[in-house]
Structure formats: C-alpha cells, structure tokens
Chain A
Amino acid sequence: MTRLTRTYHGASGATGPLLFLKDTRRVALGEWVEIAQADQPLRRGQVIDAGEDTTVIQVLDETLGLAPARAAIRLTGNVPTAVVGRELLGRSFNGVGQPLDELPPPIGEALLPVAGAPLNPARRLRPTDRIETGVSAIDGLNTLVRGQKLPVFSGPGLPGLELAGRIVEWSRAPGARPFAVIFVGMGLTAREAEHFLDRFQRAGAMERSILYLNQARDPSIERLLAPRFALTQAEYLAFETGLDVLVVMADLTSYCETLREVATARQEIPGRRGFPGSMYTDLATLLERAGIVEGRAGSVTQIPILTMPDDDITHPIPDLTGYITEGQLVLSRELHRRGVEPPIDVLPSLSRLMNAGIGPGRTVPEHREWANQLYASYTQGREARLMAAIVGEAGLSEPDRRALALADRFEKEFIGQQERRDLGQTIAIGWALLESLPRDDLLRLSEPTWDARPSRLTQESR
C-alpha cells in the first residue's frame, strides 16, 4: 500500500502514548505517521483506530513536551515495513530497525510489512527435528525441536537470560548447520543486554546474529514493534534463504506491560490484573510466527523469556504465554538458592513437541520410558521430601526414602551442569540414577527396556 501522504496541522488531544486527530479522511488502519513539532525531535507513530470522527495514533516516542495543537501530523500512506536480508547478519538495530552500530542503514533484499501474515496452517510441516541444546533438562526431558516456540519462565533475579545464552551458545541445529540467531531485547537494562551479548561474542556467534535492542531507557512503545521487526527478518531468513533461525526474545513481561499501558490510555475495559482482553491474540501474533513450511528449507524457532511477577505462574503473562507456546521451561527459586544451575524445575516444565523428536531412529529407543521413569521417580522423591519435612525421614516408607535420595542426586547430577553435554551423556546420567533403584520401583520401564539397560549390556559384553 503506497498512497499519498497527507499532513494535518494540529491534533485534537493527547494522553499517555496516544494522539487524537479529528475529522480525518482516507486514513488507513496501521498507517505509519510522523509527528513534527518545532524544537522537538521528529516522533513516529502508528494509526491504531481509524475513524472519520476520531483517529487514534499510538506514538512510539516519548510524548513529554508533545503539544497536540502545535504538531504537524504527516500520514505517510504506508504501514510499517522492515528492510530484510542476509546482509543484516552481524549487525545491531534499535526496536524499529535503525542501526545502532554506526554503519549506514542496510539496503537489504526486500521491504516487508512488519505485521506479517498468518501462516496457512495447512502449509505447516510438523516439527520433528531435535535440536541438541547441550542442557540435560532440555535434551533429556523437554526436547526442543526445530520450529518450536519454547519459552523460559524466569523470576525476578533468576538466570533466565543466562539459560537462553547457554542455549544459543551450545545449540546444534539438526545436520549441524549453525543457527542464525536473532536477539530481541525489550526493556532490558544495559547491564542485562551487555551480559547476554558478551556470551554471544565469546561463543563466536556475532557474525551470524542480528540484534534488535529496545532497552529500558528507550521509548517503551517501540517495544511493541521490536519483536515484529525481528520476526519479519527471521521469517525472511528462514523461508526465503533457507536458514535455521533461533529467535530469543527478552523480556516478554516488558512487552506485555507496554500493551497494558496502551490499553489503559485507550480506556479499554481491563482484563485480569489490568492487562487487555486482547493480549492472548496479540501474543499469538508474535509467538505463532515460529514453524516450518512445507517445501521450504529453513525454520523459525523461538525462545522467549519472561519474568513471572512474584514467581507466580498463574499471572496473566506466563499464563497466556503458556497457552500459546508449545511448552515452557520453568526456573525455580529454590533450586537456584541451592546452587543448582541451570535451576530448571522439570515438573512444571514441558515440551509438547518432544514426542515427535525422540525415540527409535531419532534418539534412543527407550527415550520416552526413560524420561517417564525419571519423572515418576523424581516426583515421588519430591513428595517424600515434603513429607519428610513434617514427619522426618524415619517416618517414610522404604521406597519413599529411596526416591528422596534419588531426587537429591537428580538435582545435583542431572539438572545441575557446568559444561555442555551431548545426548549420550545425558541419557547415561539418567540411567545411572535409575539403576540405583530396585526393579520394583521402576514400573514405567517395560521389560524389554529394563533388559536392555546399559549396565546389563556392558556386563554381557564383558
């Protein structure tokens, strides 16, 4: 859509990030707007409600000092677009795609609307290629696959970004092609962003990465566009140039808070905890931009990171995210306190696409049963731990005592790790833990699986 630009002199009002125009003609929904005012930097905005009576513009920049009556509002006739292309790899941009690295703006290979279009569900391919992240809690128990969206549910002060950094550093794409990594920072502090980039640099990932950074000090409304610029680029790299793209987005909580800010300014009826009722749909338009397309080579895999306010998983932000994503990795304050790193609590964690990525021909034949058994034994151990806190260990039954011992070791030896582990190592550690229990405690393992356990096989080969 390219139409004539029109300039209106003077707006009828403003509140928070919103500007109101009266008696407008031929305005388009989603249209990009530039707002000029003497002695003030040029501001950018977008039409979020087009009406002949009143048109509402969401202003991306700080509105302090904006004087509606004195502003000149130019409707550009275009929806926001992003320059995309392979030459952006290795570079960094702000939330609306302007360079932060002092290099000239990229020319790119195409100009695409950042809103994107929904992928036709009938054209999607079922994701099945396992990504080896090197993290046991993921590879063994919550397998990540190419084209999945798997968020990290962190808490204030918990190492969510750290885990994402590890995943970026350690992940191997199927077929061992390295991932192109797109990092979207939304409302991060300079320290957080730097820390993450540092890891990137050390991993030698910079030249295959693109950064879109909207920091805490940047205009907050820009946050709503940053992930869309990034995902438009990701889709282009994946589906037009055939790359496997990993998109890390942090922090989704800041994004949602900005959504709430706009909704409040529009006087929308607030939903739970003041967040807008349309937040599910809005988040879906970001998170559903992960996947694989029939007949195209690349993929978009997403690892969004969010901070659960007050560690509350029922808070609308983690809740709605969990309803959209294909599982979640939940960090636990208790494990973190006890020094288990990464502090992934595997019980509330889940990868819904795991099954398609594991088993005979993909990982090890017993993967499902092995994982089920670890889950079952660890669950029993955790319950026993709670009970022991009340009645003391002596009050536990024999199997409960064994499970409790297993849970302690599981957290230390399986979940906790400093170095990258390949899947073979992860499976072996799991088996070593399971084999510390008697057969009668391991009912999730079938006879053939039990008969093929590693210790027995090594005995026989001796």
Chain B
Amino acid sequence: MSTARLTRVSGALAEAEPLPQCALYELARVGQRGLLAEVIRLRGPTATLQIYEETAGLVLGEPVAPTGAALTVGLGPGLLGSILDGVGRPLGRLAEQSGDFLAPGVTAETLDPESRWAFTPALAAGARVSPGDVLGSVEERPGIRHSILVPPGISGELARLDAGTFSLADPVATLTDGRTLGLVQRWPVRRPRPVARRLPDDRPFVTGQRVFDLLFPAAEGGSIVVPGGFGTGKTVIEQSLAKYGDADIVVYVGCGERGNEMAEVLHEFPRLTDPATGRSLMDRTVMVVNTSNMPVAAREASIYLGITIAEYYRDMGYRVALLADSLSRWAEALREISARLAEMPGEEGYPTYLATRLGQFFERAGRVTALGSPSRTGAVTVVAAVSPPGGDFSEPVTQAALRISGALWALDPALAHQRQFPAVDWSMSYSLYARRLETWFESQAHSDWGELRRETLALLQRGQELRDIAGLVGPEALQGTDRLLLETARVIQEFVLGQSAYDSNDAHSPVAKTALLAGLALQLQRHAQALLASGVAFEQLDLGPVRRALALVRSAPVAAVEARAAEAAFCIAGLSRAAAT
C-alpha cells in the first residue's frame, strides 16, 4: 500500500489519503515531525484527522502513518502527583525534551517505564483470575495503596505471581496460557471502564463548603454542574474541592483555562496537607492540564483522559473526585472541529451530538461495586464548571449539562461583584440528592439537619421577598417582624453561606461547624421573634454584638469553634436582657 500523504490542513484538522483501511478514532502520526492525530472521519480513501498539536508549518504532501491503536492511556503506579497534557503526556518530561515552550512532535509516555515498584502479591499461582481481581499492590505514595488489577477482558489461571521490585515494563504475573500481566494496563480513554454494579446515591460527597453541604449537597458518585459568568468563582470552588473535598483521590482537569491558575495549583498543592491524612495534597492528585492556548483537539480529549484515570482509581475501591474546569471549553473544541468538518450545526453552532456526548461523559460518574474480588466499592463524583457566554444560562452547554446532572450550583455575577463568596445564587441552585442524603447528615452531623436546611432556605426566601418590598418602600416602612426577617436573612447570607477561600480557618468548614452556624442563625430568628412578640421594638434589639460573635465563630480555629458558638448562643440569649434595659 502506498504511503498516505496530507492533502489538506486547516486549523486543527487535516485530510490525508489514501487511508482506506483506517478505523475511526485510530491514532496516526502526521508529517515529518510525527504530530499525534486521531482519525475522526472516513470517506472512501480520505481520512480526516484531528491533530493534537500545533499545525502551523505542516506541508501538503507530508506523510501520515496510522498506528493501528486508539488513544489510550497507560494506567498504573506513578499517576498520582503527575501533571499531564490533554493526551496524557507528562508536562515535566516534555519540558526536559523541548524546553520551556511546547514543541510539536515530542513524545513521552504517561508513566515513566523506568520507575520501579515493590509489588506485594495478594494471590498465588494456581488461582483463577477474572477481570478486576486484585493481583496484589504497590505503595504508590506514602500510605496510598495502589491495587494491581486484572484488566477487563482477561481471565485465566495464574501460573506465576512473584513478589519483588518491578519496573513498569516487567511482567509480574503469568497465566497458564502464557499471557503475562504487568503493573500497567492500557485503556482507550473514550470507553468507560466496566463495573459490576451501580449503587444508589445515598452518601454525600462532603465538600467542606457550607452553602453546598447544607443547602445543595453533592452525592458521592453524583454529577454537579457549576455554571457562572467570568470571575464568579468557579475555579476557586473547584480548587477548594480539590483541597478540602472528602475524596481519596482527586483528578483535576484544567480544560482550556489559564496557565497562571495551573501554576498556582502546582505551587500550592505540594505545600498543603490533606486534612484527613496529613499528607501532601499533591500525593492524592492527578492534574490534566490543557490550557486555552494549547492545541484545541487535545482539549477535547482531556476530559476523557481525566475520567479514565478517575475510573481506574475507583476500580481499586477509592472515592474519586473529578473536577473539570471548564466543560464549556471542551464543548467549544468540539464545535470548532465540527465546524471545520462542515457538519450541520445545531444550536449556536454546536454540533447536534453535543448533548449525547455530554451525557456519555456524565454517565461515567457513579458509585459502584467494582469488578472482581475482593469486593470493592468506589465512586467517581464529577463536578464540572460551565462558562456560559454572557453569563446567560439558557445557552446549549449549560442546558445540556443541567438535563443530565444531579445538582446545580449556580453562580451569580452580582454577588461576586459584591464580594459575597461563594457567589451562589441559592434561589436558582438545586440538588436532587438533598432528600436522600438527609439520613446520612442526620446520623453523622446533626439530628435536625433536614429541618435546618428547610428553615434556612425558607428564611432566605422570605428575606428575598422582603428585600424586594423594602426596595420600593424603604426598610423603615416595614413592620418589626419583617425587619427582623430581613436581618436574619442577611445574617445567614453573611455568616452561614459566606465563606472565604482565603480565610485559613474557614476555607474548609466541617459539617459540625456548618450545623452550628446554621443553628445559631435560626436561634437568633426564633429568640428575637419571641422578643418582638412580647412587645420589644425592633429598634431596641442590639444585633451588633450578635453579628460580631457570629463573625468570631466563623473565623475561629477548628478547636475553638464550639466555644465560640457557645459564646454566640449566650449573646443571642442576652438580647432580651439588653432590650429590657
């Protein structure tokens, strides 16, 4: 067969022929420099490829060589702490080869084949194994056990399984039919990894952010969408979840966003410790980084790479959080490629299969029983930021994401402009998981959690209505009870929901603290309400000290929160004394 040659190059897309034998989604190397590309359309002898690297300088007539394989990622020990581009190349090793700026045509394996690991077998020769069975494990990072699993599609009887130190290229197990298994398995990123069974969403993914845990909780294995205009706090939320979210492993996908933000994460994470384990945060994190100026096709692939890695750790029995910032950039990459393919556009130029693709991606979230034995439960929770143009949620990406996700954390530019963070629009946000998760919160955090949640929401709602009225008639014209409600709603907004990511004591709020603060706000409302009913005038209520006491609870170090809360409660009870004098 004659070598295929480039016949067209346009943006991230190229055409080559003759390639009659190619398969869809097969990888190919393009041009003298061997740029990585993926076949996305076949028509007769002509193949259309999306190229994962910068295409400027590609010359018509340059050779194109199919590889026979799809885009896969090597899964094995050494993923934790790594920083990969959208197609799985470690950015550190790319820099060693091509310097500070990315050059096309450089290759590097996701995992360093030279790295060596001490393997402890869990089985012995003679054992029958099937997909997902744990062959043994290595300690990937201090205290983090990495199970070596039988890859999907493989079963048989073990002829050998050795303890010892192996490189990633070495076999550790041999089956009686002669096949060998190593520490690494390859998986095509666009295909979900199989599971034994999906489990119901009845446990929370505790975020450490009061507004979410209290009002719009996330389920472990759930999928949450976080839309918001620019500067509303999506990235800060994603980063806070990466730091304080209650997950064993975090996969952070920076999809088409800023380089300096990544630099910030890379600076901060190794220096921060995981509150639960005391280890460096980077030890539990995998970063997939394809910034906005990096090739657009690799951006399209990055979310699949991220979720494949997440599923792999889920299969070991870990609770994984996949944080994607931002899905809109992924969708735009899809749109750009589709437009160059001259496909019939759907809404706002997005391809008609946008919602299907998005659905397939979100479907990969879930709490599951993993394949194989011993039995393991793992989860992938997806929290995806969405960047709607003009902050308008009616656009296709937000809408498609909403239809298939379980919770919406809507961010509001007006709140962000007022520096009310997290800038969550509570009237628009929702969580379909809330009811189911109440049982967990009531047994683990506060026996009246469901009540707390409903009352808080009701007060916020009432406060909103009154604020609208006050805007027309002035607050002085309202009755005392209404002015109190307005105040309580403000107190909730400020001290219960408000949480600064830069306050080292409050950036993370344990559920107990969340319950305490919410409880105090409700106590304030009930108590002051009773005072008004007993004839005290609103003007006589001196709320200043209460607010100051609540501020102290909020900013107290974890160990002092309860004591401060007791003081605040005392202060609230003292309102009557103050009013009486």
Partners in one complex: yes
Give chain A's interface residues, CB within 8 Å of chain B. Answer: 1, 3, 24-30, 48-53, 79, 113, 115-127, 147-148, 239, 268-272, 277-278, 280-281, 284-285, 288-291, 293-294, 296, 314-316, 319-320, 322-324, 326-328, 347-348, 350, 352-353, 355-356, 368, 372, 375-376, 379, 386-387, 390-392, 394-397, 400, 439-440, 443, 446-447
Q: Mark B1-19, 1 if CB is under 8 A from A, else 0.
A: 0000001111100010000
- Indicate which residue in A122, A289, A328, A348 contacts B266 across the interface (CB closer than 8 Å): A122
B230 touches A348 (CB 8 A): no
A322 touches B336 (CB 8 A): no
B259 touches A288 (CB 8 A): yes
B259 touches A119 (CB 8 A): yes
Q: Which of B291-299, B370-378, B404-412, B518-526 forms contacts with chain A?
A: B291-299
Q: With A30-B57, A117-B54, A119-B101 in contact, do A288 and B548 touch (Cβ < 8 Å)? A: no
Interface residues of B in 460-508 (CB under 8 A from A): 470-477, 494, 500, 502
A390 touches B292 (CB 8 A): no
Interface residues of B in 547-570 (CB under 8 A from A): 547-548, 551-552, 555
Q: How far is the CA of A327 from the CA of B261 in the complex (A)?
A: 12
In this complex, the member of B332, B390, B477 whose beta carbon has the largest number of chain A beta carbons within 10 angstroms is: B390
- Indicate which residue in A52, A124, A447 contacts B259 across the interface (CB closer than 8 Å): A124
B471 touches A390 (CB 8 A): yes
A447 cross-chain contacts in B, Cβ below 8 A: 552
A368 to nearest B CB, angstroms?
A: 6
Q: How many residues of chain B are within 8 Å of chain A by beta carbon?
A: 78
In this complex, the member of A53, A121, A293 whose beta carbon has the largest number of chain B beta carbons within 10 angstroms is: A121
A1 touches B60 (CB 8 A): no
B10 touches A49 (CB 8 A): yes
In this complex, the member of A291, A296, A314, A323 whose beta carbon has the largest number of chain B beta carbons within 10 angstroms is: A323
Q: How far is the CA of A396 from the CA of B91 in the complex (A)?
A: 57
B291 touches A280 (CB 8 A): no
Q: With A50-B58, A391-B473 in contact, do A281 and B332 touch (Cβ < 8 Å)? A: yes
- Chain A residue with minimal CB distance to B266? A122
B100 touches A120 (CB 8 A): yes
- Indicate which residue in A271, A352, A391, A392 contacts B231 across the interface (CB closer than 8 Å): A352
In this complex, the member of B258, B392, B473, B502 whose beta carbon has the largest number of chain A beta carbons within 10 angstroms is: B258
A24 touches B60 (CB 8 A): yes
A257 to nearest B CB, angstroms?
A: 18
B442 to nearest A CB, angstroms?
A: 32
- Indicate which residue in B103, B292, B477 contacts A324 across the interface (CB closer than 8 Å): B292
Task: For the A-B complex with A121-B91, A288-B259, A440-B544 known, give 11 more contacts whose Cβ atoms are closer than 8 Å.
Answer: A25-B61, A118-B101, A119-B102, A119-B259, A119-B293, A120-B101, A121-B266, A122-B83, A124-B260, A271-B349, A439-B544
Q: How far is the CA of A326 from the CA of B391 in the complex (A)?
A: 17
B10 touches A271 (CB 8 A): no
Q: How far is the CA of A118 from the CA of B294 in the complex (A)?
A: 6
Q: With A50-B10, A288-B292 in contact, do A115 and B56 touch (Cβ < 8 Å)? A: yes
B83 cross-chain contacts in A, Cβ below 8 A: 121-122
Q: How far is the CA of A30 from the CA of B262 in the complex (A)?
A: 29
Q: How far is the CA of A30 from the CA of B332 in the complex (A)?
A: 22
B548 cross-chain contacts in A, Cβ below 8 A: 440, 443
A439 cross-chain contacts in B, Cβ below 8 A: 544
- Indicate which residue in A272, A290, A296 contacts B100 across the interface (CB closer than 8 Å): A296
Q: How far is the CA of A127 from the CA of B259 in the complex (A)?
A: 11
Interface residue B114 (Cβ < 8 Å from any Cβ of A):
no
Q: How far is the CA of A289 from the CA of B293 in the complex (A)?
A: 9
